């Protein structure tokens, strides 16, 4: 039943992208499509919480970087740090200049290499510095985190293969159709208009830039790895989120 598929998709989206104690439903490709379509919605909700943390910290006279660091920390706790882990693993895998199974083997190693450490430091620093500088913290953080998850949704569009026959990538690769992508992109771009005060075009431009950079990363990963996996999706999320945050505070 279509209704059951969407109920399972909601549960899968929440259990995949948050630590909320939601009872798991079906974990299969029919549920994966709705889950990836709903990913930007989950991102927007997480963004509202991050923006609220920034505003509360500001009311308590916390320094800006402390406020941003607290918001980033809360986000990492609510997502188990999975996307950050994916960013580090992807940076190590692509930085190894190996291809296919050899690069995937690097990404599966438990230790974090130099490329992963640098990627984490840069992304976390930019996010922590940008969050308190947002003109509209609630709308800005919601836009950035929704765009991050939208980048993962785009990475799961039909025609993009999985890097391995198992794992998250195999579950979600190719499950999202282009009509859903168009609707979601327009919705996030519309939300971004509320994230800026004067130059309304800056919000949609930041969204487009974030998606473009993340999808270039995904394209490169597909060439090197043979497809997407959970780590690549996590990297796309963090890269798109960071680019949008920076784009919203420039100027």
Q: For residue 26, what pLDDT is reported?
A: 76
Do the Cβ atoms of 133 and 249 come closer than 8 Å? Answer: yes
pLDDT at residue 50 is higher than 80:
yes
- C-alpha distance from residue 82 to each of 16, 112, 238, 239 (Å): 9, 14, 10, 14
Q: For residue 149, what pLDDT is reported?
A: 97
pTM score of the predicted model: 0.95
Report how far residue 137's alpha carbon sits from residue 143's, in angstroms, rounded to the nearest whole number.
10
pLDDT at residue 76 is higher than 60:
yes
Q: For residue 22, what pLDDT is reported?
A: 76
158-210 tens-digit pLDDT: 999 999 998 898 999 999 999 999 999 999 999 999 999 888 899 999 999 99
pLDDT at residue 53 is higher than 90:
yes
82-111 tens-digit pLDDT: 999 999 999 999 999 899 999 999 999 988
Q: For residue 251, what pLDDT is reported?
A: 75
pLDDT at residue 70 is higher than 60:
yes
210-227 tens-digit pLDDT: 999 999 999 999 999 999
123-164 tens-digit pLDDT: 999 999 999 999 999 999 999 999 999 999 999 999 999 999
């Amino acid at each position: 039943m279509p209704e059951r598929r969407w109920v399972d998709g909601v549960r899968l989206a929440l259990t995949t992208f948050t630590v909320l104690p939601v009872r798991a439903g079906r974990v299969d490709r029919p549920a994966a499509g709705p889950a990836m379509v709903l990913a930007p919605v989950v991102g927007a909700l997480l963004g509202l919480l991050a923006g609220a943390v920034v505003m509360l910290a500001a009311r308590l006279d916390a320094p800006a970087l402390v406020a941003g660091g607290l918001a980033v920390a809360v986000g990492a706790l609510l997502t188990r740090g999975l996307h950050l882990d994916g960013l580090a693993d992807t940076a190590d895998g692509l930085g190894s200049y190996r291809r296919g199974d050899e690069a995937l083997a690097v990404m599966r190693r438990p230790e974090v290499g130099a490329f992963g450490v640098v990627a984490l430091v840069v992304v976390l620093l930019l996010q922590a510095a940008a969050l308190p500088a947002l003109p509209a913290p609630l709308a800005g953080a919601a836009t950035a985190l929704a765009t991050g998850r939208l980048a993962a949704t785009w990475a799961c569009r039909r025609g993009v293969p999985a890097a391995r026959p198992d794992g998250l990538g195999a579950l979600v690769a190719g499950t999202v159709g282009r009509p859903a992508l168009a609707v979601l992109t327009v919705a996030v771009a519309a939300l971004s208009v509320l994230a800026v005060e004067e130059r309304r075009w800056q919000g949609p431009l930041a969204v487009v830039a974030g998606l473009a950079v993340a999808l270039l990363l995904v394209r490169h990963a597909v060439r090197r790895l043979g497809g997407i996996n959970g780590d690549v999706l996590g990297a796309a999320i963090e890269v798109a989120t960071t680019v949008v945050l920076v784009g919203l505070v420039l100027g």
